[in-house]
């Protein structure tokens, strides 16, 4: 059935989108990473999006983090964020508080259970990175990171930040979130 995937690219030249199409390959890699990570985390009863929220909260532990901050960081809709946080609260990974400052905001706080998971999540992340980089030299890994960053920047050029996951590229503790009082 390989012929199904072959298309004419130029007259007389055939293209296999599984290997010649960067977007298709990136999508395939992304799905494989998520499946692998979800399988690894299944015994911890946690998913990749939940890990992303916990990492964000850990990196910004000394700051007030709101539901809106998480929504922007993940680049997902308000209803998606609400559902995600409700599931995490049910698992005792986070607590939420309504605070009234200039306007009412929902603040998201890590629980002790989530803090204990941090070490295990870091271990599993390191294992995944090792698998991803099997057979790569340090120079090749650095080049790959630069090329992936360039791909990300290329894709975000014409898209408003509110419509893309641009916030995800700067997740360091120094990023700084809005302050609503702590």
User: pLDDT digit string (tens) for 83-102?
Assistant: 999 999 999 999 999 998 77
> How far from 20 is each of 17, 100, 149, CA to CA, in Å?
5, 53, 20
Please check whether residue 114 is in contact with residue 22, taking contact to mean a CB–CB distance below 8 angstroms. no
pLDDT in tens, 8-62: 455 566 666 667 788 889 999 999 988 887 788 888 888 889 989 999 999 998 9
pLDDT score at 157: 86
Does the pLDDT value for residue 159 go beyond 50? yes
Percentage of the chain modeled with pLDDT above 70: 77
If we measure between CA atoms, which residue out of 147, 156, 93, 138 comes closest to residue 120?
93
Going 175 to 149 to 35 to 129, the CA torsion angle's sign is negative
The reported pLDDT for the residue numbered 180 is 36
Return the pLDDT at 39: 84
Contact 180, 101 (CB under 8 A): yes
Which CATH class, in words, describes the domain spanning 45-182?
A: mainly alpha
pLDDT of residue 169: 39
Pairing label, strands 13-15, 7-10: antiparallel
pLDDT class of 170 with cuts at 50, 70, 90:
very low
Q: Tens of pLDDT along 118-127?
A: 888 788 888 8
Average pLDDT over residues 59-74: 94
Nearest to 109 by CA among 47, 56, 173: 56
The predicted structure's pLDDT at residue 40:
80
Q: What mean pLDDT is predicted for residues 142-168?
A: 77
- The values of phi and psi at residue 95, to 5°, are -125, 150
pLDDT, average across residues 173-178: 42
Residues 113 and 92: beta-carbon distance below 8 Å: yes
**Domain limits of the chain?**
1-44, 45-182
């Amino acid at each position: 059935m390989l012929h199904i995937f072959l298309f004419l690219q130029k007259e007389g030249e055939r293209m296999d989108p599984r290997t010649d199409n960067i977007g298709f390959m990136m999508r395939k890699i992304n799905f494989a990473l998520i499946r692998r990570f979800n399988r690894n985390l299944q015994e911890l009863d946690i998913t990749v999006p939940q890990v992303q929220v916990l990492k964000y909260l850990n990196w910004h532990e000394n700051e007030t983090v709101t539901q809106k901050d998480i929504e922007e960081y993940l680049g997902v809709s308000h209803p998606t964020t609400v559902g995600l946080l409700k599931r995490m609260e049910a698992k005792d990974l986070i607590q939420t508080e309504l605070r009234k400052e200039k306007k009412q905001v929902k603040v998201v706080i890590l629980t002790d259970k989530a803090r204990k998971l941090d070490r295990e999540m870091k271990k599993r992340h390191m294992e995944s990175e090792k698998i991803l980089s099997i057979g790569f030299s340090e120079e090749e890994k650095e080049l790959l990171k630069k090329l992936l960053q360039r791909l990300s920047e290329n894709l975000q050029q014409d898209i408003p930040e509110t419509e893309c996951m641009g916030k995800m590229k700067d997740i360091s503790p120094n990023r700084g979130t809005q302050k609503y009082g702590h």
